Amino acid sequence: MSAVGAVFSCFCLRSGVWLLKPGMQKMSSFSLHTAARCAARDYYEVLVLGGGAGGIAMSARMKRRVGAENVAVVEPSKTHYYQPLWTLVGAGAKHLAASARPMGSVIPSGVAWIKSQVVALDPDNNSVWLENDTRVFYKYLIIALGISLHYEKIKGLPEGFNHPKIGSNYSAQTVEKTWRALQDFKEGNAIFTFPNTPVKCAGAPQKIMYLSDAYLRKTGKRSKANIMFNTSLGAIFAVKKYADALLEIIKDRNLAVNYKCNLIEVRADKQEAVFENLDKPGVTEVYQYEMLHVTPPMGPPAVLINSPVSDANGWVDVDKETLQHKTYPNVFGIGDCTNLPTSKTAAAVAAQSGVLDKTVSLIMNKKFPVTKYDGYTSCPLVTGYNKVILAEFDYNAQPLETFPIDQSKERRTMYHMKADMMPLLYWNALLKGYWGGPAPVRKLMHLSLK
């Protein structure tokens, strides 16, 4: 927001009361500017924080509820990325450019784009602070700030990415380096890591391992590769049905899994990766690598840590069924930044967006929220250049499958769904506020069998 915009921030609505902004006495020369003018700039009926999957989907839905002129999105980035494509970009099956669109093109027309960063939340005064000391007030707030990446928590990173043989599908800056490292592979260890923190798309750290295995087989180098998945976790996947299928694949393709093994240092100049053994404090192991794929530690965005809207771990503290904030009834959360106890994915965001739309509408109409989110999430486990196991499950880690087939089998159709259909669904339906997840399709599919 411009400095002029900041100066115009004179009166703002707070629970139906007009307030004087601190420093107002300096602004008397702007008293010609009416509350309406002020409202257009510094007050929105619905304020959305974050222009990622959840933020854009919700701004499209809120535009339909209250009109575009009453909605604003705060988002500093000029590019919106379809991150699920990066698994395929890292394996050379798609181009990075196909995952990117200008932010302005995905923000619904008429909705205000506040190109700034939220630096503090003040829900007791229905406002947020942005860079340059500006403040925006709201009647309803939707928090969709995503999850932050912390490469810097691994000694030697991010500067280690300046060396070859190392990549990471988790960032637009490093995903093409994965493909480079895979193409450059000659002989030795190919190591894929999983950190000791919550992550988004918990399947992605291993998807790139299966794709790398397939690529090395295709290029005749597989016999020269020792492929290993070094994971902080104690299991390969949270849902037994899919974990069993993955363990079969791991056995068949001669992949090694080292559990409770957490990456703590990369010596990129020497192509060495250092892991700690989470079961044996103080015990570390150094691996020489020919290729290293890093999944970074992740955590809540800095602005949420110790914020009034967050739980003790820094995630937005929402009701797991309605997505309404547990303390502030006019605040809501969606997606990776929340403490919803499910796997953080765009598929989950889709299902959440449909529920949250109804929750907000009921609150706007002074009714109780009733629609319940069941924790639906999905992870298309890419296990080759034409194979996907489509994992779908709920809060209880029970399969909640859309199609009336055994989805734990590797399938070509599911690969096409992931690679070709999902991007279309994302850009044209989820971001436009028309895709609330596959529940209606699932009901139809399973009904037709009865």
- Catalytically active residues are 201, 379
Regarding 313 and contact with ligand FAD (CB under 6 A), the answer is no
Regarding 422 and contact with ligand UQ1 (CB under 6 A), the answer is yes
**What Å distances lie between residue 416 and 116, 296, 383, CA to CA?**
37, 28, 13
CB 430 to ligand UQ1: min, Å: 4
Q: Which stretch binds ligand FAD (CB under 6 A): 37-45, 63-71, 73-81, 155-163?
A: 73-81
Q: Which of helix, strand or coil describes residue 156?
A: coil
Q: Which is nearer to ligand UQ1, 55 or 158 (CB)?
A: 55
Binder to ligand FAD among 48, 204, 257, 309 (CB under 6 A)?
Answer: 204
Residues in contact with ligand FAD, shown as a per-residue x/- string from 97 to 136 under the rule CB under 6 A: --------------------xx------------------
* DSSP single-letter state for residue 420: I
Residue nearest to ligand FAD (CB): 52
**What Å distances lie between residue 31 and 25, 35, 137, 224, CA to CA?**
10, 10, 19, 74
Q: Which is nearer to ligand UQ1, 90 or 156 (CB)?
A: 90
335's CB contacts (< 8 A; 6+ apart) are 50, 52, 53, 54, 55, 144, 146, 344, 348, 349, 352
Q: Is 190 within 8 Å of 212 (Cβ atoms)?
A: yes
Query: How many chain residues bind ligand UQ1 (CB under 6 A)?
Result: 14
Run of H or E residues at 135: strand 135-143
Strand spans (E) along 159-283: 166-167, 188-194, 225-231, 256-258, 261-267, 272-277
Regarding 296 and contact with ligand FAD (CB under 6 A), the answer is no
Q: Is 439 within 8 Å of 275 (Cβ atoms)?
A: no
Residue 114 CA, chain-centre distance (Å), reads: 20
Binder to ligand FAD among 5, 108, 146, 438 (CB under 6 A)?
Answer: 146
Q: Which is nearer to ligand FAD, 170 or 229 (CB)?
A: 170
DSSP labels, 357-392: HHHHHHHHTT----------EEEEEEEETTEEEEEE
Regarding 346 and contact with ligand UQ1 (CB under 6 A), the answer is yes
Residue 89 binds what, of ligand FAD, ligand UQ1, none (CB under 5 to 8 Å, by partner type)? none
CB 437 to ligand UQ1: min, Å: 5
Residue 426 binds what, of ligand UQ1, ligand FAD, none (CB under 5 to 8 Å, by partner type)? ligand UQ1
Query: What residues does 157 pair with on adjacent strands?
Result: none
Regarding 322 and contact with ligand UQ1 (CB under 6 A), the answer is no
**Cis preceding linkage at 158, omega within 30:** yes
Q: Which of helix, strand or coil describes residue 345?
A: coil
Regarding 57 and contact with ligand UQ1 (CB under 6 A), the answer is no
Residue 72 binds what, of ligand UQ1, ligand FAD, none (CB under 5 to 8 Å, by partner type)? none
Regarding 54 and contact with ligand UQ1 (CB under 6 A), the answer is no
**What Å distances lie between residue 117 and 237, 248, 349, 386, 432, CA to CA?**
35, 45, 21, 40, 23
The full 3-state SS of 104-173, as one line of letters, equals HHHCCCCCEEECCCEEEEEHHHCEEEEHHHCEEEEEEEEECCCCEECHHHCECCCHHHHCCCEECCCCCC
Report the b/e string of 409-424 with b at 16+ CB within 10 A.
Answer: ebbeebbebbbeebbe
Regarding 142 and contact with ligand FAD (CB under 6 A), the answer is no
Q: Which is nearer to ligand UQ1, 57 or 309 (CB)?
A: 57
Residue 425 binds what, of ligand FAD, ligand UQ1, none (CB under 5 to 8 Å, by partner type)? ligand UQ1
Q: Which stretch binds ligand UQ1 (CB under 6 A): 106-114, 145-153, 185-193, 431-439?
A: 431-439
Regarding 433 and contact with ligand UQ1 (CB under 6 A), the answer is no
Q: Which is nearer to ligand FAD, 272 or 311 (CB)?
A: 311
Residue 402 binds what, of ligand UQ1, ligand FAD, none (CB under 5 to 8 Å, by partner type)? ligand UQ1
Q: Which stretch binds ligand UQ1 (CB under 6 A): 20-28, 227-235, 364-372, 424-432?
A: 424-432
Regarding 378 and contact with ligand UQ1 (CB under 6 A), the answer is yes
Regarding 198 and contact with ligand FAD (CB under 6 A), the answer is no
Residues forming contacts to ligand UQ1 in the complex (CB under 6 A) are 84, 346-347, 350, 378, 380, 402, 422, 425-426, 430, 435, 437-438
